């Protein structure tokens, strides 16, 4: 009897960065230096690929999508001040990815401050790299992720200048990775519906906490998710950062139920798994190394979805949505 080929993984969400003093471009107050890196303060593609070496043989890593971290950094900088650093991050990452020891394929989703009146010049510069697929700018408010709270940006989904910048993504064929809180889902859905030519990828299951899924039967979360799913076929969602609900999410039936409900709501072809490395590797996040994370992902859906649907969640869906 022939064994099944390995499940290929095209990781839809990972980070690398350089926070070394006087060398790196990133913010050491927000980002961190994972244990076991060759150079403290540097987490590059070689460090990341060493993690993948312990992936079980039933899986095969084939590359993925780098996601920016800068929109969470430098809390006190304004959008215009952050713009050049976004470009610097993209340039550093693009160069580092070319040093991949395994030579697998990677693409980039850098950041841009869409509320900046001069954002088109930065988008133009980012678009010179053919491997750039889209933009992410973290939007989480109440609770606020670093820049949105302390820098006074507030809810960018209510900012008309930001929305004008968002509309410019269509000119470049860029997608938008939308990371937001459940209380923002309705506004995010309205924006996505108004711009059907801009692919939207919801990050991290919409960053729900356990309370978001349980309080009042999760009404705000699920009504918002229904709005996002119905905003159009151009809206997809990443099944990732499940540790935000519970660090031992594989032992928490609420998480499995939520994941299966999301897949049913969006359709499996609009969903995909992501590692969120190196964040998920931290002990306080559950230390979700590849040998632990990917079998747990598979367990969520095996026996419920077809083999084709399961494989799509790990690879094909990511490539289609990000045009890889």
Per the DSSP assignment, residues forming a β-bridge with 11 are 64
Give the structural domain span for 191. 7-322
- Quick check: 92 and 44 in contact, CB under 8 A? no
Nearest partner of 293 among 243, 232, 229, 228, judged by Cα:
243
Q: Which residues contact 253 (CB under 8 A, 6 or more apart)?
A: none
In the predicted model, what is the mean pLDDT of residues 89-107?
Answer: 96
Q: Is the pLDDT of residue 98 over 90?
A: yes
| 100 within a domain of the structure (yes/no) | yes
Q: Is the pLDDT of residue 217 over 60?
A: yes
In the predicted model, what is the mean pLDDT of residues 267-281?
Answer: 97
Q: List, for residues 133-148, the tens digit of each pLDDT value.
A: 999 999 999 989 888 8
C-alpha distances in Å from residue 300, one per residue of 242, 269, 294: 12, 16, 10
Of all residues in the chain, what percent carry a pLDDT higher than 70? 99
Q: Is the pLDDT of residue 306 over 80?
A: yes
Q: What is the pLDDT of residue 151?
A: 63
| 211 within a domain of the structure (yes/no) | yes
Report the CATH number that the domain containing residue 30 is assigned in CATH: 3.20.20.140
| 128 within a domain of the structure (yes/no) | yes
Please tell me the total count of domains within the chain.
1
- How far does the chain reach from its first CA to its final CA, in angstroms? 34
| 110 within a domain of the structure (yes/no) | yes
In the predicted model, what is the mean pLDDT of residues 191-214?
Answer: 98
Higher pLDDT, 34 or 19: 19
CA dihedral 255, 260, 261, 264 (to 10 degrees): 160
Q: Residue 287 region, left (φ>0) first, then alpha (ψ -120 to 50), else beta?
A: left
Q: List, for residues 44-91, the tens digit of each pLDDT value.
A: 999 999 999 999 999 999 999 999 999 999 988 999 999 999 999 999
pLDDT band for 150, please (50, 70, 90 cuts).
Answer: low
| 2 within a domain of the structure (yes/no) | no
| 200 within a domain of the structure (yes/no) | yes
Q: List, for residues 191-201, the tens digit of each pLDDT value.
A: 999 999 999 99
pLDDT band for 249, please (50, 70, 90 cuts).
Answer: very high
Of all residues in the chain, what percent carry a pLDDT higher than 90? 90
Calculate Rg over the CA atoms of the chain: 19
The answer to whether the predicted template modeling score (pTM) of the entire model surpasses 0.75 is yes
How many residues are there in the chain? 324
| 46 within a domain of the structure (yes/no) | yes
Q: Is the pLDDT of residue 103 over 90?
A: no
Per the DSSP assignment, residues forming a β-bridge with 109 are 67
- Quick check: 70 and 64 in contact, CB under 8 A? no
Q: Is the pLDDT of residue 1 over 80?
A: no
């Amino acid at each position: 009897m022939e064994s099944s080929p390995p499940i290929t993984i095209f990781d839809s969400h990972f980070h690398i960065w350089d926070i070394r003093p006087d060398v790196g471009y990133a913010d050491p107050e927000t980002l961190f230096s994972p244990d076991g890196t060759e150079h403290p303060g540097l987490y590059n593609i070689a460090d990341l690929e060493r993690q993948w070496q312990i992936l079980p043989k039933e899986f095969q890593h084939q590359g993925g999508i780098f996601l920016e971290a800068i929109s969470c950094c430098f809390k006190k900088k304004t959008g215009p001040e952050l713009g050049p650093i976004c470009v610097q991050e993209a340039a550093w990452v693009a160069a580092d990815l070319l040093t991949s020891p395994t030579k697998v394929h990677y693409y980039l989703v850098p950041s841009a401050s869409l509320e900046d009146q001069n954002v088109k010049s930065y988008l133009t510069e980012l678009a010179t790299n053919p491997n750039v697929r889209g933009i992410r700018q973290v939007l989480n408010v109440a609770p606020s992720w670093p820049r949105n709270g302390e820098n006074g940006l507030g809810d960018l989904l209510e900012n008309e200048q930001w929305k004008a910048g968002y509309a410019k993504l269509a000119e470049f064929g860029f997608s938008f990775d939308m990371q937001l809180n459940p209380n923002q889902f309705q506004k995010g859905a309205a924006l996505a519906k108004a711009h059907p030519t801009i692919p939207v990828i919801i990050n991290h299951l919409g960053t729900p906490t356990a309370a978001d899924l349980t309080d009042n039967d999760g009404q705000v979360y699920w009504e918002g998710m229904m709005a996002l799913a119905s905003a159009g076929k151009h809206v997809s969602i990443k099944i990732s950062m499940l540790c935000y609900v519970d660090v031992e999410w594989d032992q928490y039936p609420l998480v499995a139920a939520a994941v299966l409900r999301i897949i049913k709501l969006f359709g499996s072809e609009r969903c995909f798994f992501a590692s969120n490395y190196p964040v998920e590797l931290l002990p306080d996040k559950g230390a979700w190394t590849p040998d632990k994370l990917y079998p747990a992902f598979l367990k969520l859906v095996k026996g419920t979805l077809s083999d084709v649907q399961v494989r799509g969640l790990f690879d094909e869906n990511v490539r289609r949505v990000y045009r890889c």
